[in-house]
Amino acid sequence: MSTAKTTFKQVKRHFSPSMALAGKFTGQGAVEASASGCRVTLSDDRTVLDFGSYAVALLGHRNTAVVDAIRTQLDLMPTSTRSVLNPVPAQAAETVVEYLAAAEFGGTTAPALSKVYFGGSGADVVEAATKLARLATGRSTVVAVAGGYHGKTLGALALTHHERFKGNLGALLAGAVHIDPTDPEAVEKVAAEHDIAALIFEPVQGENGVTPLDPAILARWCADAHEHGAFVIADEIQVGLRRCGDRSVALAHGLPVDAVLLGKALGGGVVPVSAMVCTEQLYAPLTVDPVLHTATFSGHPLATSAVAPALRAIEEHAEDGNRIAAEMAEGLAGIAAEHAGAVTAVRGRGLLWGLDFRSTEFAGEVQVGLAQRGLVVSTCLSRPEVLRLIPPIIARTEDVKEALVALHGAIEQATAATA
């Protein structure tokens, strides 16, 4: 039996039949075999162009500097005793603090984001930040934004807006209040009824169809939250680290945030690692009691060994990111104009783009065409009528053109199929 057939059977048996079916469709009957740069090689020897991976592969696959750093650490000490201090996560923390300190702050003074907590996933650091905010303030209410996505662990799930992910867990998800993203007075209104521990937002809502939030409204919310003694948390797990052009979108807007949450690309597309980078005030409960919030693999040496080379590589390709962003903006605008009956909106910034199609069914037909043409994209789980194009920062102009040609052909194919 082939590797692909074996994998489909195992996924169906041990994970989910629908997962097996979706993977079989996306891979056109094949499974992943290897990857390098922007390309993934499948089990049937086809190669596909990766403009998806849910924003993890910002540096593409198997970035040499990141892989070399991890191999070195693997030969030295891949894990930690958790009793004796390890220099690798300590150096990674200093690196990520310095990285954000060098960001553009929109002409204002940046807060001192000098404390770090490392996790293995985005939800890990959402949980850490909101837990610390509640402990530091003695309050329970966290303000989140309608349309936002912050993870699916129980605490983070309360902040994630879409009901699809919550099932019958409503009674366990207390303490979150969701506000209208277009209302400048929304935080003030909540503060009139609740004692707020924190405000959390994504500057660009990736899962919500790539929807940027208004910086002016965010600035008003930050001011109101601070006025009422609450912390402000920028969730940039998907959109930070140059994915949307800046090291930190919130800091580039000059927003006085108390924490920036990073993840996905922080491990260089090789290992899972995330980070909460925050002020001493937010971190204070852990300063007093460092075992108040711990995890066995927090600050894992093998994972944190990737942080420094990943950030260096991202900066080396910053100008490439600007070029790709301009090429994507121009190309997608042309496709939207040519297929006005099919594409209802294009939204994006930097290396994160969302295309709204006229229906969920039509978006599905487009995805069929993209799979056939060898282009990997990411769906929006809560808005299935939207497809996300998330190019790596290492993509060449030829790669962008290939992706745009594939998209054009897939839309034409979908239009014919649904006529």
Q: What is the pLDDT of residues 229-263, one digit of tens each?
A: 999 999 999 999 999 999 999 999 999 999 999 99
How does residue 112 score in pLDDT terms, banded at 50, 70 and 90? confident
Q: What SS3 class is residue 36?
A: strand
pLDDT at position 108, please? 47
Digit-coded pLDDT (tens) for 49-68: 999 999 999 999 999 999 99
pLDDT at position 390, please? 98
How does residue 363 score in pLDDT terms, banded at 50, 70 and 90? very high
Beta-ladder partners of 376: 50
For the chain, first and last CA: distance in Å? 39
pLDDT at position 103, please? 73
Classified by CATH at the fold level, domain 31-59+317-417 comes out as: Aspartate Aminotransferase, domain 1 (3.90.1150)
Instruction: Sort strands 378-379 and 375-376 into parallel, antiparallel or unpaired.
Output: unpaired
Mean pLDDT computed over 348-352: 97
Question: Does 109 have pLDDT greater than 50?
Answer: no
Residue type at position 233:
I
Domain(s) labelled CATH 3.90.1150.10 in the chain stretch across: 31-59+317-417
pLDDT at position 243, please? 98
Domain(s) labelled CATH 3.40.640.10 in the chain stretch across: 65-316
Mean pLDDT computed over 272-299: 97
What are the CA-CA distances from residue 300 to residues 72, 110, 283, 385 (Å)? 14, 29, 20, 38
Q: Which of 368, 360, 264, 358 is nearest to 22 (CA)?
A: 368
pLDDT at position 4, please? 94
Q: Which two tokens stand for residue 296?
A: 């066995």
Domain 65-316 classified CATH 3.40.640.10?
yes
DSSP codes, 386-399: EEEE---TT--HHH
pLDDT at position 110, please? 47
Question: Does 284 have pLDDT greater than 90?
Answer: yes
**Contact 177/144 with Cβ under 8 angstroms?**
yes
Q: Which of 26, 399, 189, 289 is nearest to 4 (CA)?
A: 26
Digit-coded pLDDT (tens) for 141-187: 999 999 999 999 999 999 999 888 888 887 778 899 999 999 999 99
Based on DSSP, count helices (H) and strands (E) in the chain, helices before strands: 15, 17
